Amino acid sequence: MLRNLGALGIAGLVILLAGIGLIAYADPVIAAGMALVIAGLGLVVRSLISGLLQNFGMF
């Protein structure tokens, strides 16, 4: 999976984890909620992209 992200994707993932870590340092409950929101958003985006690619016959 990391091979498909590229350098920019890995940097974004590191920044995302650092941000959640910083929030968890201040308030763990809010950090857990934000992590769930980000994970859900990622699943929705992946589903939308997969559906779009299927419509074009690419996936």
pLDDT tens sequence across 1-49: 667 777 888 888 899 999 999 999 999 999 999 999 999 998 888 888 8
- One DSSP character per residue, 45-56 reads HHHHHHHHHHHT
Q: State the number of CA atoms in the 13 A half-sphere of 32 facing the CB.
A: 3
Query: Which pLDDT score is estimated for 2?
Result: 61
Distance (Å, whole) CA 8 – CA 56: 27
Domain of residue 40, residue span: 2-55
Query: Which pLDDT score is estimated for 1?
Result: 62
Query: Which pLDDT score is estimated for 51?
Result: 85
